[in-house]
């Protein structure tokens, strides 16, 4: 199938930067700030229950991430999500909410990430937005139309030994309607994650448990406020380029009625 311009850009970024140095990686959690210009490209391929096989192999959510270094061990962040869903009958694609933010180190073992998701997703692209939200539900705010999202995150790293690192992260994201709609309310959610990374040169094996807690919405059952995911993956621990692959499953049974799993492919490089 012929790739569209966004998909061609992904291929160029993944395979055209082989001479670059790789930056620290994670599967779904925030990587640390870099002191050089950094790129990350990520692709999520969903397995929707009932019709996932009908989608083209390149259907899913794409992310282009750029990190530009600033003084005092900080970095300016730009991230553009893009959703495309096609089958033999046709399909649609559209950008999501553009992220502008920053990262800064708290100390040598922790750092914070914060910023805004601007309401650039098109409300008329309902099918693309809904499919993209379910494809990457942990970051569903990336395809929320008419919504300004304030994002914050703190990551703490623990070096258990030379071969094992643990990461803990947590933070809020605040959804603010950008249009006056009677059925739209401001929502507050808390995201969290715990990961372990085993370094077996030249491969890093990773396992991440992450999710979100709905703080503001009225929900009768307390357990329904949580939505958790498990991801396992492997990454090439190479000094020039570190491609990675991971497999994500929702742990909530109700969620698996729609999304059975997601395959993730990513590449992280630093110029």
* CATH code of 177's domain: 2.40.160.40
Per-residue pLDDT tens digits for 229-268? 999 999 887 666 779 999 999 999 889 989 999 999 999 8
Q: Are 240 and 23 in contact (CB under 8 A)?
A: no
- Number of domains into which the chain is organized: 1
The pLDDT tens digits for 137-196 are 999 999 999 999 999 999 999 989 888 999 999 999 999 998 766 566 889 999 999 999
pTM of the predicted model, to two decimals?
0.86
3-state helix, strand, coil in the chain (%, to 5): 15, 55, 30
- Measured CA to CA, the distance from residue 26 to residue 41 in angstroms comes to 12
Q: Which domain holds residue 98?
A: 5-270
Question: Would you say 154 and 169 are in contact if contact means Cβ atoms under 8 Å apart?
Answer: yes
For residue 206, is it left (φ>0), alpha (ψ between -120 and 50) or beta?
beta
Q: Rg of the Cα trace of the chain?
A: 18
CA-wise closest residue to 61 among 144, 128, 149, 147: 128
- From CA 214, how far away is CA 191, in angstroms rounded? 9
């Amino acid at each position: 199938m012929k790739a569209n311009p966004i998909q061609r850009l992904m291929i160029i970024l993944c395979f055209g930067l082989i001479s670059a140095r790789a930056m620290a990686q994670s599967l779904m959690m925030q990587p640390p700030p870099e002191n050089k210009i950094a790129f990350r490209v990520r692709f999520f391929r969903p397995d929707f229950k009932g019709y996932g096989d009908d989608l083209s192999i390149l259907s899913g959510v794409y992310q282009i991430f750029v990190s530009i270094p600033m003084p005092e061990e900080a970095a300016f962040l730009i991230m553009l999500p893009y959703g495309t869903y096609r089958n033999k009958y046709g399909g649609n694609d559209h950008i999501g909410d553009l992220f502008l933010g920053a990262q800064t180190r708290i100390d040598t073992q922790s750092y914070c990430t914060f910023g805004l998701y601007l309401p650039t997703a098109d409300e008329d692209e309902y099918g693309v937005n809904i499919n993209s939200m379910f494809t990457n539900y942990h970051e569903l705010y990336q395809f929320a139309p008419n919504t300004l999202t304030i994002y914050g995150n703190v990551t703490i790293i623990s070096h258990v030994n030379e071969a094992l690192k643990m990461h803990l992260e947590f933070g809020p994201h605040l959804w603010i309607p950008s249009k006056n709609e009677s059925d739209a309310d401001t929502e507050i959610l808390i995201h969290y994650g715990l990961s372990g990374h085993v370094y077996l040169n030249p491969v890093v094996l990773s396992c991440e448990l992450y999710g979100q807690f709905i703080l503001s919405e009225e929900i009768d059952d307390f357990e329904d406020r949580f939505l958790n995911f498990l991801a396992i993956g492997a990454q090439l621990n190479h000094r020039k380029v570190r491609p990675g692959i991971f497999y994500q499953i929702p742990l909530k049974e109700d969620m698996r009625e729609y999304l059975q799993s997601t395959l993730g492919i990513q590449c992280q490089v630093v110029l």
